[in-house]
């Protein structure tokens, strides 16, 4: 179903993929909230190597979750792909995913990046980091998310709204680390330190720091990667002014979120759906995820894009993604009470 194959995805994915077409199902229906050309390249390669046709329906995360829920037993959905553990948890809570057991997935994907019962699996990672102005910030004085609430950062912090799912997951991880009272105290401190009211996306926060509207921004790594890879002189000028801090290296590690997928509850092509997820967890497919969108692979040992590698290694928080995903709803309440709009 896909046109314009890029041609640079030619690796062999192993016997499990090459023989998958003989297993029965000839198609898999994928509902995806990831809108990247690199993903379509992956789907084309899966079709080529297995003979299983990928039927793709794209949409916004919450809209796809609601669509599958409303379709109920008649849903043609086999796989849901979405970003952020918070949304994966919402899909699970909506009852539209089924638990699966797969030795290949459980071996490839670290335990903290998948739902313990197999409702969903992380397929790529993005760290939530601090982007700072090199002329205004001494990195040694900004070591943790907790530091963002310190008085010395008053009027210097740029961050998205509390309605943003990435911030809800970060606050969900803070809830797991500190409990509701200390997390609310932290959120109030962040609000006090905001350079402006939350507005725009992660890229807007990064550009705001470069423009001097604040000194430090909270952002997912792949947004910075996109700017760093840009050939536009104005983007290169922005990146040249900035640095990245991986928070909490002295304790629990940097918060890492996922994009991931699960098998739909009423999947008409369940076997093909499982094979599709197993394929996305192969090293070759993981490398495409990593190189195509400046993400970190979920599977250990897979190379990252040179731009991402240039930021250096870091310690990641190994809190299970299902925990901070589940905490999203409470995290939003905590942030709203703190005045984080």
Q: What's the 3-state SS for the chain? A: CCCCCCCCCCCCCCHHHHCHHHHCCCEEEEEECCCCHHHHHHHHHHHHHHCCEEEEEECCHHHHHHHHHHHHHHCCCCEEEEECHHHHHHHHHCCCEECCCCHHHHHHCCHHHECCCCCCEEEEEEEEEEEEECCCCCHHHCCCCHHHHCHHHCCCEECCCCCCHHHHHHHHHHHHHHCHHHHHHHHHHHHHHECCCCCCCHHHHHHHHHCCCCCEEEEEHHHHHHHHHCCCHHHHHHHHCEEEECCCCCCCCECEEEEEEEEECCCCCHHHHHHHHHHHCCHHHHHHHHHHHCCEECCCCCCCCHHHHCCCCCCECCCCHHHHHHCHHHHHHHHHHCCCC
Q: What is the pTM of this model?
A: 0.90
| pLDDT band of 4, cuts 50, 70, 90 | very low
- Residue 146, pLDDT above cutoff 50: yes
Q: Per CATH, which fold does 15-125+258-309 belong to?
A: D-Maltodextrin-Binding Protein; domain 2 (3.40.190)
- Residue 19, pLDDT above cutoff 60: no
Pull the structure tokens for residue 255: 């918060």
- Residue 5, pLDDT above cutoff 70: no
**Percentage of the chain exceeding pLDDT 70:** 93
Please compute the mean of the pLDDT values over residues 87-108 and round it to a whole number: 98
Q: How confident is the model at residue 38, as a pLDDT?
A: 84
Class of domain 126-254+314-337: alpha beta
126-254+314-337 shares the fold of 15-125+258-309: yes
Q: How confident is the model at residue 289, as a pLDDT?
A: 85
Please report, for the chain, the start and end positions of each structural domain, with discontinuous segments joined by +: 15-125+258-309, 126-254+314-337
């Amino acid at each position: 179903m896909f046109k314009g194959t890029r041609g640079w995805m030619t690796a062999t994915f192993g016997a499990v993929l090459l023989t998958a077409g003989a297993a029965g199902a000839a198609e898999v229906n994928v509902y995806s909230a990831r809108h990247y050309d690199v993903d379509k390249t992956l789907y084309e390669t899966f079709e080529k190597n297995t003979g299983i046709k990928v039927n793709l329906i794209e949409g916004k995360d919450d809209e796809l979750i609601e669509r599958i829920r409303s379709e109920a037993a008649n849903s043609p959905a086999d796989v849901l792909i979405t970003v952020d553990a918070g949304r994966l948890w919402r899909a699970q809570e909506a009852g539209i995913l089924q638990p699966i057991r797969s030795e290949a997935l459980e071996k490839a994907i670290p335990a903290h990046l998948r739902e313990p019962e197999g409702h969903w699996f992380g397929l790529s990672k993005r760290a939530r980091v601090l982007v700072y102005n090199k002329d205004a910030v001494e990195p040694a004085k900004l070591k943790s998310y907790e530091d963002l609430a310190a008085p010395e950062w008053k009027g210097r912090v740029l961050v998205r709204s509390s309605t943003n799912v990435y911030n809800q997951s970060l606050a969900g991880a803070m809830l797991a680390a500190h409990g509701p009272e200390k997390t609310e105290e932290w959120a109030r401190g962040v609000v006090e330190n905001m350079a402006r009211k939350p507005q725009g996306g992660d890229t807007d926060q990064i550009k705001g720091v470069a423009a001097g509207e604040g000194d430090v921004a909270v952002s997912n790594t792949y947004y910075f990667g996109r700017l760093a890879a840009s050939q536009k002189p104005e983007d290169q000028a922005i990146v040249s002014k900035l640095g990245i801090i991986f928070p909490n290296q002295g304790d629990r590690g940097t918060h890492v979120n996922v994009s991931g997928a699960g098998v739909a509850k009423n999947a008409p092509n369940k076997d093909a759906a499982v094979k599709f997820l197993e394929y996305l967890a192969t090293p070759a497919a993981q490398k495409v995820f990593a190189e195509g969108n400046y993400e970190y692979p979920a599977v250990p040992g897979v190379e990252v894009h040179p731009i991402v590698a240039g930021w250096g290694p870091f310690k990641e928080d190994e809190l299970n993604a299902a925990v901070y995903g589940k905490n999203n709803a409470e995290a939003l309440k905590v942030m709203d009470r703190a005045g984080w709009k």
